[in-house]
Structure 1
Amino acid sequence: MLKLSIFCVLLTSVAVVLGCDTACSASQDANGRCYYSCTDNACHMSGSHHRDQFLNGLSTRGYDCRPEGYNTLSCGKTGSFGGCWGHKWTCGAGC
């Protein structure tokens, strides 16, 4: 019985590690900009960490994005950017 309990705990731990969490997602579409909110504790990191990573990824692609606060950012809506809800930032081994 103890071996079965240990196996279940290990299996649950592996499932958590291999999961893919949404760290940043669209929260608002206003004034020609898309606004994104990033979650604290997704993959054990702060919302500001995820904001910076997402911002860097979007900026590298040439999008007009900027930080808006501790865990938020916004991007200008241009033809190449597309819709607000088409972008998100995920983390975890299963992504």
Structure 2
Amino acid sequence: MVKATFLLTVLAALASVEACKRTCTPTSDKAGVCTYSCTKMCSSLGAKEARDEFLSNLQSAGHSCKASGSSGVKCTKNSSFGSCYDHHWSCGGGC
């Protein structure tokens, strides 16, 4: 039989690891422009840092995107961009 203290220790360790959470998600798809909002979902990554990483990756992929405010991203859609909802940014374990 497993000791209760061992089981509690394992559960506590699992709870301390942050699961993969979407930190930048689409908020609008209007007139050929995708708008994204980034929020602080993980202790290791603030909203602006998440936005900057998301934006950098979108731009590196050749998409026409720019920062919007302190934690937003706007992208002009073209045929290679696809759906606004195909793009997001996540943080945490298991991403």
Shift of 1:11: 3.0
Q: Distance in 1 between matches of 2:6 and 2:59?
A: 50
Q: Is 1:5 paired with 2:8?
A: yes
Q: Is 1:35 paired with 2:35?
A: yes
Shift of 1:10: 2.0
Q: Is 1:78 paired with 2:73?
A: no
Runs of 4+ in structure 1 deviating by more than 6 angstroms, as ranges, are: none
Q: TM-score, normalised by structure 2?
A: 0.85
Q: Give the paired residue count.
A: 91
RMSD: 1.5
Q: For structure 2, which runs of at least 5 residues remain unmatched after alignment?
A: none
Q: For structure 1, which runs of at least 5 residues remain unmatched after alignment?
A: none
Give a deviation string over 1:38-88, Cα, whole Å, max 9, x none. 012x22121111110000000001100000111101100100001111110
Q: Secondary structure at the match of 1:70?
A: coil
Shift of 1:5: 3.0
Q: Distance in 1 between matches of 2:5 and 2:78?
A: 58
Aligned-pair identity in percent equals: 37
Shift of 1:93: 2.6
Shift of 1:3: 4.2
Query: Residues 9-88 of structure 1 correspond to what in structure 2 (within 5 A)?
Result: 9-13=12-16, 16-17=17-18, 19-40=19-40, 42-44=41-43, 45-88=45-88
Q: TM-score, normalised by structure 1?
A: 0.85
